[in-house]
Amino acid sequence: MHPILEKVKISQDAYLLKIQASHVSRAEAGQFVMVQYKELSEPIPLSILSTFEDGFSTLVKVVGRSTLELVEEAQELFYVAGPLGKAFPIEVYGKVAFYSHSWGIAPLIPIAKALKDKGNYLTLCHTSEDFYLEEEAREIFHEVLQDEPKPVEANLVVCAGSNQLAKSLVNLYPNTPIISMVNVHMLDAVGLCLVCRVLVDGEPMLACSDGPWFPAHKVDWDNLISREEAYKEQERIALEEYKKILRRKELRNQA
């Protein structure tokens, strides 16, 4: 079991969790973990925001049943696997433009810190109203913009938090390399279940072991977006059922 050492609410729907899991402390920027609250809970991927000797911290945005369970109930986690995925390539690029949407700021912060140490100039374009970790972001990035995504001068573009945003950046930056996280459901995250398949340059690749960072111009975003849509109805039912359980608990506590 992995105790949740701290759980801090940072907005209406987002929390920072500090989790004890010493095997994750060797993580590099851009890697993620799979966490599972109870034995029968769904395992979900979360980015590693920072590490300490005994574990790591992560940002959780509540979007459905599993993220709600984590913030509402979990005091400890049944399973934490990681660090997983390939680390982000930390190199000298020159000017780097980051595009974040919602929780996407969390994987971008450790990458930005590492790229800043290399002397790169960093611009952040945050594209959603929920600007989590804004204060920390403003300290790290040289420039922060909060408009509709529009092109800025850059040698490299980095994106996280939304497949739709990544797809739009491909049109916005036809000639600039873009490295983007793909948002895809994962199950085992060790390359066996094939749930996280992504078409890259027409070839199937695995987000959990080959990714989660891919060259955005080569990703078949339409295929990925339509596949992810397929789970919507089951996700809605799972969330409604869980909300009923929470409501019954609340009523029992009031009685």
Ligand X SMILES: Cc1cc2nc3c(=O)[nH]c(=O)nc-3n(C[C@H](O)[C@H](O)[C@H](O)COP(=O)(O)OP(=O)(O)OC[C@H]3O[C@@H](n4cnc5c(N)ncnc54)[C@H](O)[C@@H]3O)c2cc1C
By CB under 6 A, residue 115 contacts ligand FES: no
Taking the C-alpha atoms of residue 205 and residue 180, their distance in angstroms, rounded to an integer, is 14
Taking the C-alpha atoms of residue 189 and residue 43, their distance in angstroms, rounded to an integer, is 9
103: DSSP letter: G
- What is the separation of C-alpha 50 from the centre of its chain, rounded to a whole number of angstroms? 13
Site string (200-219) toward ligand FES, x via CB under 6 A: ------x-x-----------
Taking the C-alpha atoms of residue 205 and residue 210, their distance in angstroms, rounded to an integer, is 6
Closest approach, Cβ 93 to ligand X, in A, equals 22
SS (H, E, C) 229-254: HCCHHHHHHHHHHHHHHHHHHHHHHH
Taking the C-alpha atoms of residue 19 and residue 40, their distance in angstroms, rounded to an integer, is 20
Which residue in 16, 17, 44, 179 binds ligand X (CB under 6 A)? 44
Q: Is-contact 94 116, C-beta < 8 A?
A: no
By CB under 6 A, residue 63 contacts ligand FES: no
Which residue in 60, 96, 156, 200 binds ligand X (CB under 6 A)? 60
By CB under 6 A, residue 45 contacts ligand X: yes
By CB under 6 A, residue 228 contacts ligand FES: no
By CB under 6 A, residue 159 contacts ligand FES: no
Backbone angles phi, psi at 121, to 5 degrees: -95, 125
By CB under 6 A, residue 110 contacts ligand X: no
By CB under 6 A, residue 44 contacts ligand FES: no
Contact residues for ligand X, defined by CB under 6 A:
32, 42, 44-47, 58-61, 63-67, 103, 106, 181, 183-184, 186, 212, 228, 235, 238-239
Contact residues for ligand FES, defined by CB under 6 A:
186-189, 191-196, 206, 208
